[in-house]
Structure 1
Amino acid sequence: MSFQISLLCSDPEAGSSPEPLLHINFWEPSVSFRNDEFMGFPMTTLSCELQPRLRDGTARLLRWDADDHDGWWTYTLRLTEVNSLEDVRKLISVPVGQLLENTTAGKTMLETLSAVVCYKTVDDHPDYYRVIF
């Protein structure tokens, strides 16, 4: 489990976010910019099941297909929405617990949280996705 904060970014290769983001990741490696292990793009081997949601801009939980990445996920919050201990519980602790227990139910829970951003495919940039609020 790792967390990453991404500050303001207008670069389509980095997700084009006009505000700070908090990425919550469940991956094997720890976030390491030195070793190119971080939430960023290009992002390959995303789940085939996820592709329609990426095309229509409704993908809230990024998942991977590859055998060595099966079960990995990331979701992203608008950092400005995390302002209190109750927000940490509601937006991080409870969803992470649900995702670890039952990924499908956790994915459904993320649909109810307006602080969770969606991702959409960037035209003409394979494996790049922009943030949708």
Structure 2
Amino acid sequence: MDGNLSPLVILCVALLPNDLLLSSAAFLEPFDLLYDTAVQAFYSSDYESVVRYMEGALSSHREARRTRVRCRLRCQDQHPFDETFSDLRFFDGVLRRAACMNACIEAKLGIQSGVVFVNH
């Protein structure tokens, strides 16, 4: 083999679903940055790039949301609230869950931009 990729291999990689490519990536590109890039491409009349970046932003947002839900459920199980309910124990549990979630999300997604879209 001469080290060149065959056209069939390139075609197979190109046809992989975006979700599969995103889940195998070490970190997601922040969806707000992808969206901003799409807006810039729109104003430059580069409509192919608009579609590519908007699809990337939607896919990244979906994966980030899934990851946040999984992390929240995992941290909820790891740091349950005590049966004896006092202000100190309650806030201790809240802080532990928050620290757990931050570590979990950063480990899976990398550092994100911090913009959160709320779905109504």
Same fold at TM > 0.5? no
Q: Please, what TM-score do these two structures have when normalized by structure 2?
A: 0.25
- Structure number with greater Rg is 2
TM-score (norm 1): 0.24
